[in-house]
Structure 1
């Protein structure tokens, strides 16, 4: 079932989601970090630094900095590719999956408020 919204309603939903996310005791991710995390969890693996950089249209060092931060939050993990030691493979973690599940629930909840 498609959701019909005006641009103002969509922006209001995004504002409510981001405001509520900031209020919660959850990691505070940048849009870039959130985009990377969503990509890693919603697109089938494998995921590499090189591949993420190409997908987001940024350099590998930009991805590495974002992954450093998310790794410290235990939202992702990185391991060397056994087949090609030059590649770093990005792995999902339980903490990352739980973070996105809560984030998804937040979006659903804020979206339902708009329909009431």
Structure 2
């Protein structure tokens, strides 16, 4: 476990945010990033209903975020063949590459933190 003081944690967050703003990758809101990381870091299956419960938001909020990230090809949706009422969220190659690159940015910026 890495122990950071509050100001170090905030500096790391600032540096990661700056790297993202300066980069040419998609600009995601915090909500979109939370959804994306949940889909890629937590084991599937992921549903609109399940994501809404986890993030404590409504299903339409999740749907709007998925519309945006779907257009960016970071996630994909499809109907659950076993229960057509459910919409399953799938990972994509583009999304996996985005998440991996984001992790690299966090690690690189953490390595530059003063001790």
TM-score by length of 2: 0.97
Tell me if 1:9 matches 2:8: yes
Structure 2 gap ranges (5+) = none
What residue is the counterpart of 1:81 in the other structure?
80
Once the two structures are superposed, the pairs formed by residues 57-68 of structure 1 within 5 Å of their partners are: 57-68=56-67
Distance 1:21 1:51 in 2: 28
Tell me if 1:56 matches 2:55: yes
1:33-59: CA deviation from partner (whole Å, max 9, x where unpaired): 000000001111000000000000000
Runs of 4+ aligned residues of structure 1 deviating over 6 Å after TM superposition are none
Tell me if 1:99 matches 2:106: no
Distance 2:70 2:60 in 1: 15
- Secondary structure class of the residue paired with 1:54: helix
- Secondary structure class of the residue paired with 1:114: coil
TM-score by length of 1: 0.97
Structure 1 gap ranges (5+) = none
Distance 1:4 1:92 in 2: 31
Aligned length in residues:
115
